[in-house]
């Protein structure tokens, strides 16, 4: 072996050593993942992580065998024929076996994804969670049989290759067929899922995120099959030269040495190491092992008979920390401990319940109790609502939900009672709110009246700024969820609780999109503002609230949502501002409701402008 060839062999041995150590580390790292998967009730996550461990062990073994064969080639401890045969076997095993294992890993992940799609969707029309005509779990036994037959078939192919009954070209053509079949499966999967679950939303945001996480890895692995197919084709065409090159039998230049190492190491890192690392991340592990069995634990009106058991009651009650002095009032609070006034203090027929006045038996203070009725609730949705309530209560200077409970047909949310009502009632205090008439505003406002409204707007933008400083976005801010405290200060409510609002939109027709909603939020499918809302969306809503506050005219009042979308989003129309309107306030409103979010002012700029307007009115 001359100096150039020997140098090439040394460089390859270093690459094999590093790759072997990496796969040993990955194998050790995959053991805790397999242990967690083994403790779950589902079969396919166990198969998934078991074969990830297998692919890591396989690659670690063959990389170290490569290293051993390179060293023996340098020392010339074997004759040329046996040395070439060893490299031939190891080379093709290193390519073929991981691809064969990959198919098992991918297929088990795909089937688990299909099961989660089935359990995590709500069947619209009549509410039906996890009860479909066809359940993928019913085919688990057949899928297991297919996997077992596939593994046996691949073992036979490998045995035939080891016995030299199959040529390297034949086994690589078989590998190409396996890699090419995976994209076909994905295409079939996408078409099937789009038809099966079209228009069927997820039962909760958490389940949707988990599902998207799994789908993301599926697509990444599929895209990485493309470079692997290219590698397989190269191996089929140049298999003799590659084996000779890796065995140190072919003289190459230094550049060719580097290209060979990059080819080997790059292929393994991109096609195997990166996907395996993604599969072992904590976020993906949590998503894959999400217990879909809880989805089927439904509190249903039809299935309800007698009182709920103690465990169900405990699941529904969430005493939450609040800013009141007597925190002990809400510990172990039960629904029966509340005295509820049957007369609604505020009721809005939008599908998200009614608000009643309630008092505690231990306390005469009044509280606002939102009562939302549902046909049925999943425990999974209840758990997510609890988490969102905790997030709401951690917001500084925000509104608090003191207590949450649910029974067989309703959920209850207890919060502070604000007797001064909301901004909408303040604006229309001299009108019949139920039959609001659009009015033409003249210059009848005195400077004092304008100043009062400017102060309200200033308090409101400060509240918005407080939320934005904590990265909290309301998304559907309007005059009805802006309340007045005892001291006539602004308090913004009704943000958060996206999961239960989304569910209410499906079963109760709840909608929080209206004339105050920003055009970018109107792009969302459905009737509930999603997480696509941004801070600038609240600024747009603030501009509409300003228009409502100073003109006493609700924007696009009583207009259907589809008409609002057409006017605001497509035609970029805005309510007409009267010519006699205060020019400074009119300019501020127009700046806030601009079509492009980046053109709208931020809360600090609005505060500065309102300060200048206030000074001009003195």
Q: Are 585 and 613 in contact (CB under 8 A)?
A: yes
- Using DSSP's 3-state secondary structure scheme, residue 415 falls into strand
Q: What is the pLDDT of residues 410-463, one digit of tens each?
A: 888 989 888 887 898 888 774 443 333 334 333 456 778 888 899 999 999 999
Report the candidate in 236, 217, 250 with the shortest Cα–Cα distance to residue 96. Answer: 236
Residues 6+ apart with CB under 8 A from 194: none
Name the helix (H) or strand (E) containing 403.
strand 401-406
Q: Largest Cα–Cα distance in the chain?
A: 106
Q: Are 450 and 588 in contact (CB under 8 A)?
A: no
Tokens, residue 316:
């529904």
CB hemisphere CA count around 601 (13 angstroms) = 17
Question: Residue 432: what pLDDT?
Answer: 43
In whole angstroms, what is the distance from residue 97 CA to residue 309 CA? 53
CB atoms within 10 A of CB 226: 11
Q: What is the pLDDT of residues 347-401, one digit of tens each?
A: 555 678 888 888 887 777 888 888 888 877 766 777 778 888 888 988 998 888 8
Q: Are 417 and 357 in contact (CB under 8 A)?
A: yes
DSSP code per residue over 176-233: HHHHHHHHHHHHHHHHHHHHHTTT--BS-HHHHHHHHHHHHHHHHHHHHHHHHHHHHH
Tokens, residue 555:
């924007």
The residue behind tokens 């802006």 is 482
- Axis crossing angle, helix 168-196 with helix 80-119, rounded to the nearest 10: 10
Question: Residue 549: what pLDDT?
Answer: 92
Q: Which residues of the chain have pLDDT under 70?
A: 1-10, 70, 73-93, 121-135, 190, 194, 196-205, 238-254, 256-257, 291-329, 342-350, 378-379, 408, 430-445, 524
In whole angstroms, what is the distance from residue 12 CA to residue 416 CA? 71
Question: Residue 346: what pLDDT?
Answer: 55
What number of helices (H) and strands (E) belong to the chain? 20, 12
Q: Are 316 and 405 in contact (CB under 8 A)?
A: yes
Q: Are 421 and 484 in contact (CB under 8 A)?
A: yes
Question: Residue 168: what pLDDT?
Answer: 72
DSSP one-letter code for 435: G
3-state secondary structure string across 91-124: HHHHHHHHHHHHHHHHHHHHHHHHHHHHHCEEEC
Question: Residue 607: what pLDDT?
Answer: 95
DSSP one-letter code for 283: H
Q: Are 585 and 546 in contact (CB under 8 A)?
A: yes
Overall residue count recorded for the chain in this entry: 618
DSSP code per residue over 547-587: HHHHH---TTTT--HHHHIIIIIIS---PPPPTTS-HHHHH
In whole angstroms, what is the distance from residue 537 CA to residue 544 CA? 11
DSSP one-letter code for 532: T
Let me know the angle formed at the C-alpha of 500 by 497 and 502, rounded to the nearest 5 degrees: 100
Q: Are 297 and 378 in contact (CB under 8 A)?
A: yes
Residues 6+ apart with CB under 8 A from 439: 551, 552, 553
Q: Are strands 410-416 and 401-406 parallel, antiparallel or unpaired?
A: antiparallel
Q: Are 451 and 614 in contact (CB under 8 A)?
A: yes
Residue 201, phi then psi, degrees to nearest 5: -75, 170
Residues 6+ apart with CB under 8 A from 133: none
Question: Residue 463: what pLDDT?
Answer: 95
Tokens, residue 501:
């609002």
CB atoms within 10 A of CB 560: 9
User: CA 498 → CA 101, 176, 246, 494, 524, distances in Å?
Assistant: 41, 46, 58, 10, 14
User: CA 112 → CA 47, 135, 287, 406, 407, distances in Å?
Assistant: 10, 12, 11, 31, 32
Residues 6+ apart with CB under 8 A from 268: 19, 59
């Amino acid at each position: 072996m001359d100096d150039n060839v020997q140098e090439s062999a040394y460089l390859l041995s270093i690459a094999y050593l590093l790759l072997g150590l990496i796969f040993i580390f990955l194998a050790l790292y995959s053991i805790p993942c397999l242990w967690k998967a083994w403790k779950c009730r589902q079969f396919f996550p166990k198969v998934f992580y078991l074969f990830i461990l297998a692919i890591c062990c396989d690659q670690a073994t063959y990389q170290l065998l490569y290293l051993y064969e390179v060293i023996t080639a340098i020392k010339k401890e074997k004759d040329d024929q046996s040395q070439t045969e060893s490299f031939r076997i190891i080379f093709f095993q290193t390519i073929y076996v991981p691809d064969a294992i990959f198919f098992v890993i991918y297929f088990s992940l795909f089937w688990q994804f299909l099961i989660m799609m089935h359990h995590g969707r709500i069947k619209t029309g009549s509410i039906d969670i996890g009860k479909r005509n066809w359940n993928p779990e019913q085919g688990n036994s057949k899928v297991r049989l297919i996997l077992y037959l596939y593994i046996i078939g691949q073992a036979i192919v490998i045995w035939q290759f080891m016995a030299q009954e199959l040529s390297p070209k034949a086994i690589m053509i078989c590998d190409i067929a396996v890699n090419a079949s995976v994209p076909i499966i994905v295409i079939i999967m996408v078409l099937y899922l789009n038809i099966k679950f079209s228009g069927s939303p997820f039962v909760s945001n958490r389940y949707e995120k988990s599902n998207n996480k799994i789908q993301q890895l599926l697509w990444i692995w599929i895209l990485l099959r493309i470079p692997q197919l290219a590698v397989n084709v190269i191996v089929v065409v140049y298999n003799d030269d590659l084996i000779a090159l890796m065995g140190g039998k072919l003289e190459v230049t230094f550049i060719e040495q580097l290209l060979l190492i990059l080819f080997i190491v790059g292929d393994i890192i991109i096609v195997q190491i990166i996907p395996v690392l993604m599969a072992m991340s904590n976020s993906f592990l949590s998503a894959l092992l999400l217990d879909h069995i809880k989805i089927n634990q439904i509190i249903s009106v039809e299935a309800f008979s007698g009182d709920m058991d103690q465990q169900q009651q405990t699941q529904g009650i969430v005493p939450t920390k609040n800013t009141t002095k007597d925190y002990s009032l809400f510990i172990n609070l039960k629904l029966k401990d509340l005295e509820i006034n049957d007369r609604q203090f505020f009721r809005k027929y939008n599908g998200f319940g009614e608000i009643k006045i309630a008092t505690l038996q231990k306390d005469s203070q009044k509280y606002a109790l939102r009562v939302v009725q549902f046909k049925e609730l999943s425990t999974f949705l209840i758990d997510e609502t609890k988490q969102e309530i905790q997030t709401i209560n951690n917001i500084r200077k925000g509104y608090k939900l003191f207590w949450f409970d649910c029974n067989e047909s309703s959920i209850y949310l207890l919060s502070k009672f604000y007797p001064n009502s909301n901004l909408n009632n303040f604006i229309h205090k001299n009108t019949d709110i139920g039959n609001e008439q659009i009015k033409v505003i003249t210059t009848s406002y005195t400077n004092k009246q304008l100043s009062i409204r400017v102060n309200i707007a200033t308090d409101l933008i400060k509240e918005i700024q407080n939320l934005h400083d904590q990265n909290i976005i309301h998304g559907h801010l309007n005059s009805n969820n802006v309340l007045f405290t005892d001291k006539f200060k602004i308090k913004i409510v009704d943000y958060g609780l996206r999961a239960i609002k989304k569910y209410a939109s499906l079963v109760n027709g709840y909608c929080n999109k209206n004339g105050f909603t920003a055009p970018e939020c109107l792009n969302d499918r459905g009737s509930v503002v999603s997480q696509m809302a941004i801070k600038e969306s609240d600024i747009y809503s603030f501009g509409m609230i300003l228009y409502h506050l100073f003109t006493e005219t609700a924007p696009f009042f009583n207009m259907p949502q589809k008409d609002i979308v057409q006017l605001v989003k497509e035609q970029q129309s805005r309510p007409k501002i009267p010519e006699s309107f205060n020019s400074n306030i009119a300019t501020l409103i127009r700046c806030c409701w601009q079509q492009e979010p980046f053109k709208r002012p931020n809360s600090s700029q609005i505060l500065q402008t309102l300060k200048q307007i206030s000074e001009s009115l003195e």
